[in-house]
Chains A and B, each alone.
Chain A
Amino acid sequence: DGGITQSPKYLFRKEGQNVTLSCEQNLNHDAMYWYRQDPGQGLRLIYYSQIVNDFQKGDIAEGYSVSREKKESFPLTVTSAQKNPTAFYLCASSYHRGNTEAFFGQGTRLTVV
């Protein structure tokens, strides 16, 4: 089945640690996105990538980093510089331009302990 897979579903991090969230898609989509969801604030864009080896900062990129070495994969690292990392993180993908429907993964809930 084609789809977009995020792992893990739940993640706990100690303060000061970096953690990496995984996002894989087998939809042959060019574009991939990372959003952060907080109650009452909607979905805020962290980073997005339209092609392999290229990515752009979204609206709240500070404290996060990404890579896009393969078309299928777009991992997100939450660094210790992110002051309030506890949130629900969503990865999405779409075809680059033209067909604009975005498909979302099931999300990763990150909690700082």
Chain B
Amino acid sequence: QQQVKQSPQSLIVQKGGISIINCAYENTAFDYFPWYQQFPGKGPALLIAIRPDVSEKKEGRFTISFNKSAKQFSLHIMDSQPGDSATYFCAAYRTSYGKLTFGQGTILTVHP
């Protein structure tokens, strides 16, 4: 009930293309869904987040789409750049538990 499943495991995109990473969750008690970006040898950093009462959130080139009925959410990176090459993690948070549950991660490579 606490799982978050993320796909794909790795993704290769050309510069200027759209990167799409998908996540699915099981527990409807989750009430906050962040995405984290991690560069090699560094800790993850918050990229963008959404709450389940909103279907879409956009910040610059990054957009989260949220489908509450399907229990799925996705990250779209528009106009992907080589500097976006990193590992991306989706996560789900349940306030009553006070902890984040992470997906398996997606290694994104953007070719110039």
B-binding residues in A (CB < 8 A): 6, 31, 33, 35, 40-45, 48, 50, 58-59, 90, 92, 96-97, 100-107
Q: Contact partner of A104 among B45, B93, B98, B104, CB < 8 A?
A: B45
Q: Which residue of B lies closest to A109 (CB)?
A: B41
Q: Which of A42, A44, A107: most chain B CB closer than 10 A?
A: A42
Q: Contact partner of B43 among A31, A48, A104, CB < 8 A?
A: A104
A50-B98, A100-B34, A100-B100 known; 19 other A-B pairs, CB under 8 Å? A31-B98, A33-B100, A40-B105, A41-B104, A42-B102, A42-B104, A43-B89, A45-B101, A48-B98, A48-B99, A92-B43, A100-B93, A100-B95, A101-B34, A102-B46, A104-B36, A104-B44, A104-B45, A106-B41
**Is A106's CB under 8 angstroms from B43's CB?**
yes
- In the complex, per-residue mask of B8-48: 1 if CB is within 8 Å of any chain A CB, else 0: 01000000000000000000000010101000011111100
Given known contacts A40-B105, A42-B6, A100-B93, is B99 in contact with A107 (CB within 8 Å)? no
Question: In the bound complex, how far is the Cα of B97 from the Cα of A58, in angstroms?
Answer: 11
Question: In the bound complex, how far is the Cα of B44 from the Cα of A42, in angstroms?
Answer: 11
Interface residues on B, range: 20 to 34
**Is B43's CB under 8 angstroms from A105's CB?**
yes
Q: Which of A31, A58, A104: most chain B CB closer than 10 A?
A: A104
**Is B104's CB under 8 angstroms from A90's CB?**
no
**Is B99's CB under 8 angstroms from A43's CB?**
no
Q: Which residues of B contact A45 (CB under 8 A)?
A: 99-101
**Is B49's CB under 8 angstroms from A58's CB?**
no
Q: Which residue of A lies closest to B44 (CB)?
A: A104
Q: Which residues of B contact A31 (CB under 8 A)?
A: 98
Given known contacts A43-B89, A48-B98, A96-B98, is B104 in contact with A101 (CB within 8 Å)? no
CB proximity of A60 to chain B, nearest CB, Å: 12
Q: Which residues of A contact B46 (CB under 8 A)?
A: 101-103
